[in-house]
Structure 1
Amino acid sequence: MGFQKRPYEPTLFVKIGENGKMLIACLYVDDLIFMGNNKGMFSYFKRSMMNEFKMSDLGRIHYFLGLEVVQSNDGIFVSQKKYAREILNRFKMQHFNPTNIPVEFGLKLTKAGRGKKTDSTFYKQIVGSLMYLTSTILDIMYAISLVSGYMECPTAMHLLAAKRILRYLQETKDFRIFYEKGEKADLIGFTDCDYAEDQDSIKSTSGYVFMLGTGAVSWSSKKQTIVTLSSTEAEFVAATACAC
């Protein structure tokens, strides 16, 4: 049908028509969402797919793989409010005191940790559930990156840090990313890093976020693969990761 698969995302397909017409389709198993700027391309695509496969047209997207989407005349809101509440209920954290900071200031985690060893399966369930929330909640990326390094042998201290992220969700579960309609959408990126903050490997952590207008579209926080010998070198590594 004239679509081209994107090399950086194998489930994303783009079709370019005349005079700037565009249709973008994204697949996940048996779910399909698409967007574009031409109603004629929409209609032709839906007819073609329904002739080939048994499909249902559910109209405008409202819920997709845990993502909640609200479209209005002002723009588009994206969130994971329902999923965040489910996590809080699953781990019985819905009645704990909320906090407005996902990581305790100055927290230093190590593999040795403090306190008794805790159930690693339970710890992995918490961290794994939180990882999926980073699809829309970008300000927990660093915290998730921090606690995910101790899933093999977690201690009470590691579990406490993971539960603090859940308490932060209690405070921010209703937050949403807003992509404003009709605004000048400049792509702006920010990057930064710490220096040798990992107590076990002495590695630094890089982070970046890209904003398209009012909304974030890409973000990351992960440990650098090499040991840098200065804060300047760590900054160069972070900037390179951001540019790539």
Structure 2
Amino acid sequence: MVVEFGMSDLGMMHYFLGLEVNQSVDGIFISQKKYVQDILDRFQMKNCNTMKAAGHLVGYTDSDYARNLEDRKSTSGYAFMLGSGVISWSSKKQPIVTLSTTDAEYVAAASCACQDNPVENGQSKPIDVKYHFLPDLSKDAKISLIYCRSEEKVADIFTKPLKPVPFLKLRDQLGVCKLN
């Protein structure tokens, strides 16, 4: 490929699209530390007083049950919020067909927990391990599983069609704004 396309081997990747990339035997870690430092420099805030980050990381998860009429797979959605801002979100078709709403919600919760605990995100794990580690994470206080009503669950916006009022409410909770 190098001869055909005139490429150069630059070694290990350190930066990509403004992201800092650190590759090690433990995995690939991505951060925006340099980007944040550049912004602080740009606005002369490098020596500003720090503020303790609000409550903790909160993840919302939801699923629709067998909404896809072609293969009857459900959709999982999640949103992670730190303080009042969303920092990560996803909407993805589940890899398996579930037999109940409870199963679909369980798969969605496991998918969300895998994002919070990437060590558990192995693709080749059998289903009994891959989806049934939630009780252990909860018991070890790595996550807390708390029920919240659909009106409060921002992940609903990623899994089902909503009427305008709930859609706008959840969109606002995510911090997504309309461009003029």
Q: Into which bin does the TM-score normalised by the smaller protein fall? A: 0.3 to 0.5
RCO greater where, 1 or 2, for CA within 8 Å and sep 6 or more?
A: 2
Structure with greater proportional strand content: 1
TM-score by length of 2: 0.40
TM-score by length of 1: 0.30
The structure with the largest alpha-carbon Rg is 1
